[in-house]
């Protein structure tokens, strides 16, 4: 299990413009990002008691959540992700889903999962059966990703956070989303064993502190 350091900061739009110029000077663009950015759409799952939401709001140190995700509304690449957090350390497992499998999950059809040979899918299936996990909310946002090979660093700028209210039809391109009121831009920095000084200095903003902002929690407030 390979944990990575993860630090988030809430920043203003002005901060983001400054950081964008700094990061372009010292980091590479993620080759998967057309024109330097892409739109992320995630469908989050939670149990009947909203455990993942409550643990996030209560600041529980060890927690996990499940989501399915695609990029730029392209159904050819869809991932099931299990995100495990222990303080400022994070670990993620992923499994590829077909469009039909993702649609089935969004519709609450999980029978096909029992026949999978993928450990991530089987683990998610066990959680669904034992704890009643079900689709809760769609979260959309734009991401600008940057990469830096030493330290395996990834820095992202996320903004235009939107939610689909009560719609959980993950693959419906016409699903109406609305912007989250007063949502900040989010700077996120991830690295393995060490964070190079070049990047540490580039992302430094006076007076900014690590943030507990959760896109999932913010979008759940609109239900």
Q: Residue 138 belongs to a domain with what CATH number?
A: 3.20.100.30
- 83, 67 contact by CB (below 8 A): yes
Can you give the pTM of this predicted structure? Answer: 0.93
- 89, 154 contact by CB (below 8 A): no
- Cα–Cα distance for residue pair 38/15, rounded to 1 Å: 20
pLDDT confidence tier of residue 205, bands split at 50, 70 and 90: confident
- 100, 109 contact by CB (below 8 A): no
pLDDT at 174: 85
**What is the per-residue pLDDT across 7-60, written as a single tens digit (0 to 9) for each?**
999 999 999 999 999 999 999 999 989 889 999 999 999 999 999 999 998 989
Of the candidates 124, 115, 187, 184, the residue with the CA atom closest to the CA atom of residue 154: 187
The DSSP call for residue 193 is S
**What is the per-residue pLDDT across 131-177, written as a single tens digit (0 to 9) for each?**
999 999 999 999 999 999 999 999 999 999 999 988 899 999 888 89
Integer angstrom CA distances of residue 187 from 19, 92, 119: 9, 19, 31
Domains identified in the chain, total number: 1
Q: Which domain holds residue 31?
A: 4-220
pLDDT at 209: 63
């Amino acid at each position: 299990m390979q944990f990575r350091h993860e630090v988030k900061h809430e920043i203003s739009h002005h901060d983001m413009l400054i950081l964008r110029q700094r990061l372009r000077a010292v980091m590479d663009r993620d080759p998967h990002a057309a024109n330097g950015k892409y739109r992320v759409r995630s469908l989050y799952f939670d149990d009947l008691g909203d455990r993942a939401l409550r643990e996030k709001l209560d600041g529980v140190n060890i927690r996990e959540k499940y989501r399915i995700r695609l990029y730029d509304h392209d159904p050819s690449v869809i991932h099931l992700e299990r995100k495990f957090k222990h303080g400022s350390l994070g670990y993620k497992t992923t499994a590829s889903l077909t469009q039909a499998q993702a649609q089935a999950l969004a519709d609450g059809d999980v029978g096909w999962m029992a026949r999978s040979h993928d450990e991530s899918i089987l683990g998610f299936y066990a959680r669904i059966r034992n704890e009643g996990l079900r689709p809760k909310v769609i979260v959309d946002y734009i991401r600008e990703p940057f990469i830096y090979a030493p330290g395996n660093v990834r820095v992202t700028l996320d903004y235009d956070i939107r939610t689909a209210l009560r719609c959980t039809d993950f693959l419906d391109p016409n699903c109406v989303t609305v912007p989250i009121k007063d949502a900040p831009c989010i700077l996120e920095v991830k690295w393995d064993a060490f964070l190079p000084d070049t990047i540490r200095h580039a992302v430094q903003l006076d007076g900014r502190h690590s943030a507990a902002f959760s896109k999932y929690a913010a979008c759940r407030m609109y239900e």
